[in-house]
Structure 1
Amino acid sequence: MDQKSRFNHFFQFERSPFLRARGIFPLFGRVNYSQQVALLRILAVAAEKKLSLLDVLEAFEKDIRGRWRYQVLRLIDLLRSGVPLAEAIETIPNVIPANAYFLVKAGAESGTLPSALALAAEVCTERRNERDFLRPGVSVYLSSVLVIMACIIGFICYWVIPKLKKIFLNFDMALPDLTVSIIQTSEWFVKYFWVFPAFGLMVYLARLFLIRLDFLERRGHWNSVPGLYPRGRAPDVLRFLHITTESGRPLMGAFETLTRTTSNRFLSQRFRAILEDIRKGNDCWTALHDFSLLTPSEVRLLQSAQRAGNLGWALKAIAKSIERRIDYRMTLIREYLEPAMILSIGCLVGVLVIGLFLPLVNLMHSLA
């Protein structure tokens, strides 16, 4: 069996309904960040040493297992069929870290792919070594808490509150306004519980629709909404300009490449506007500031570094500084969001306890 037939056989084996029904599919596991960085470093070394990517990847896939091996086999198959490396990487989900896609694609567009792979591997290795980056995401934590709370509240609304309501009606007692509101809310929740999963499905379909229209990007990274927060893409842009500067290429060509790098409409329009501003004779760093990618202090630093002939170092340092500030803000939001979530849940539990048990206390007093 040749390599292509082996890949197709493996792909059909994984997607077979029998395996999904039997629950064997989860045994293939998932691709973690360390594995993505390892592949990125292998690609960088192979591109730098001008080795055959197919030979390197075929040797690499013999020592790995599970879904990770399937991803590498799929990459090998695409490369063998003549697909360029950047397009093959973009086709396969989660094969390299999300924050490396932009840099790799920009390097392929500009002809500086080896340097782009090396810098992407360096950046992703640094992020892997940061302790806070390895901590589970706040979205997973909040989603888990919300799902558990929804199940508990659903059980209370469906099973507990109707029993209490029947007790209250049998004794023909006046209920507090809070208790009446809780009973009405629980009845609405039981009757229209399907609204919440339907809303989640609508949000998911809307995301897919926006991706199809090129308003959002497929990669799950915090800078994937450049229309709302363009500064999130500034580290990627500055690192690409660093590669261009180190390779001796003109900056004008780098900005022309940026307009073709991304399929995101917001980001592409922003890059085109920056390019037109530069063609009119304006300073490129001022243009980046005018379109919310740089701050005035960063513009002054880059202008000084350009005059001093140390532009490459300044671009790389500013990119790292911006990324650290964004990570710090995200960490700060998470640190405030977690206790806020716990406090909200506590308030909700308190309202339920007070609203449901206050009539019981009144009932016991009347019986006594």
Structure 2
Amino acid sequence: MKFYFYRAFSEEGSSSSGFILASDEEELFRILERRGLYAYKLIPIPRLLGTLFYGGVKREDLIEFSKNMSIMIKAGISVIWALESLKEQTKNRAFKNALIDIIDLVKRGMSLSEAFSLYPHFFPPIFPYLIKGGEQTGRLDKVFEDIGNHLQRIEELKIVVQRALLYPIFATIASVGAILFWLIYVLPKVAFSMRDMGVNLPTVTLIMMGIGEFLKNYFWTLFIGFFLIFIGYTVVKDKSQIKTLKDKILLKLPVIKTLVFLRTMVIFSEQMRILLETGIPIDVTFERVKNAVENTVVKKAVEKAKESVLLGKRLSEALRETKIFPQMIINFVEVGERTGRLADQFSTLSEHYANKTQEYSLRLGKIIEPVIIGVIGLFFALVIVSLFIPVYEMISRIGMSL
């Protein structure tokens, strides 16, 4: 998919412009034509800029959209009518345009799942996969309800993690700002005054002054350098080799690896539950789950498990061979295989790992706080020592002269 900036005119002759996401120019012309627009100027733009200008849809909006679709379909309202109603309610221009296209495609005879699949920028893979199952079973209301509940659980986990880390991050930023202020502005003034009065500055003071001088002289160079590194990382982070390396590092970092792994197990278990309940074949289920899991190391494990299952091995045995999935998941899957209730087992696992993720996130925040306080306190102590040693020496000299 590529981003384009377009200028177009309508059948009435009015002009309009904007950003649009399409696989190629031919598809772009079709999308605009469905909106009653005819493009006369197209400019391809980089993906990063396109994302900034084109926008997206928040997970909270998708949750509300899914639950509203479920309620309306359950009430007997047709899919097109429900989509029309939600299109009018949304304030997100790009999302509204996507719904306009989806409605038009469905009216022309395209299935709802296929129409949703044309907009991966807005709807994650779980939408078309589950909607297709709902179309086959006639339970679209249940499918949209499941999608809404799934997205809500993921969003709640995200909020818990953010809240747990919010205070440590804020404390770090505030403390670093205070240290920089003392290093760059306060310490040099006091130290130079002491030196002018004939006080010999100790080594620790000279070192801290050197650090402050370096930061003052090269602040913008460092800022631009870090900004360019960030932009570069944003551009290359999705390349397979870079992403694999990053995911491997995340699964080995102390403290962080547990949080990453728990969250990944939540997504894996939740996706397995939903897809199995929909009645999707196990091989297709594995393919969908692999696409939903973010960590490439776990993706490869899911792919390996899928291949083993296709060769005739039991699911529990296939998961064990990957040496990635914990024994608890394997045990629950074995029970599910014996009882024929795999979806229920994955539902229990999903809830268990969601609770574990929340507990660990809260505990992680409490662990990080004293560590940050200790590290920041050490830096403050160095700044204060480098400031007060010359002051103390000056006072001693004055006392001796008296």
Would you say same fold, with TM above 0.5?
yes
Letter in 1 for 2:65: L
Distance 1:320 1:105, change over 3 A: farther
The match for 2:93 is: 70
Aligned ranges 1:91-240 → 2 under 5 Å = 91-92=121-122, 101=124, 103-104=126-127, 106-107=129-130, 111-112=133-134, 114=140, 116-125=143-152, 133=159, 137-193=163-219, 194-196=221-223, 198-213=225-240, 216=243, 229=260, 232-240=263-271
For residues 151 and 167 of structure 2, what CA distance do their matches in structure 1 show? 23
For residues 212 and 115 of structure 2, what CA distance do their matches in structure 1 show? 56
CA contact (8 A) 2:165 2:365 kept: no
1:31-57 Cα shifts (integer Å, max 9, x gaps): 876544212312344566785555324
Question: Where does structure 1 lack aligned partners over 5 or more consecutive residues?
Answer: 13-29
Q: TM-score, normalised by structure 2?
A: 0.67
For residues 138 and 185 of structure 1, what CA distance do their matches in structure 2 show? 32
Residue among 54, 68, 82 paired with 1:56:
82
The match for 1:334 is: 365
Residue among 33, 41, 48 paired with 2:67:
41
Letter in 2 for 1:319: S
The match for 1:298 is: 329
1:240-298 Cα shifts (integer Å, max 9, x gaps): 33234333443233224445667975554333222222233322123223335532233
Distance 1:169 1:263, change over 3 A: closer
CA contact (8 A) 2:164 2:364 kept: no
Q: CA RMSD in A?
A: 4.1
CA contact (8 A) 1:102 1:261 kept: yes
What SS does structure 1 have at the residue aligned with 2:92? helix
Larger Rg: 2
For residues 73 and 322 of structure 2, what CA distance do their matches in structure 1 show? 34
Question: Could you tell me how far 1:347 is from its partner in structure 2?
Answer: 2.7
Distance 1:344 1:53, change over 3 A: farther
For residues 218 and 80 of structure 2, what CA distance do their matches in structure 1 show? 55
Distance 1:335 1:259, change over 3 A: closer
More strand by share: 2
Letter in 2 for 1:187: E
Question: Could you tell me how far 1:235 is from its partner in structure 2?
Answer: 2.8
Letter in 1 for 2:353: I
Question: Where does structure 2 lack aligned partners over 5 or more consecutive residues?
Answer: 1-8, 21-55, 106-113
Q: TM-score, normalised by structure 1?
A: 0.72
Distance 1:167 1:261, change over 3 A: closer
1:139-170 Cα shifts (integer Å, max 9, x gaps): 55444444433433333333222212321221
For residues 285 and 240 of structure 1, what CA distance do their matches in structure 2 show? 17
Distance 1:260 1:344, change over 3 A: closer
For residues 70 and 36 of structure 1, what CA distance do their matches in structure 2 show? 14
Letter in 2 for 1:70: R
CA contact (8 A) 1:236 1:319 kept: yes
For residues 226 and 36 of structure 1, what CA distance do their matches in structure 2 show? 29
Aligned length: 332
Moved more, 259-268 or 206-215: 259-268
For residues 313 and 122 of structure 1, what CA distance do their matches in structure 2 show? 16
Distance 1:198 1:112, change over 3 A: farther
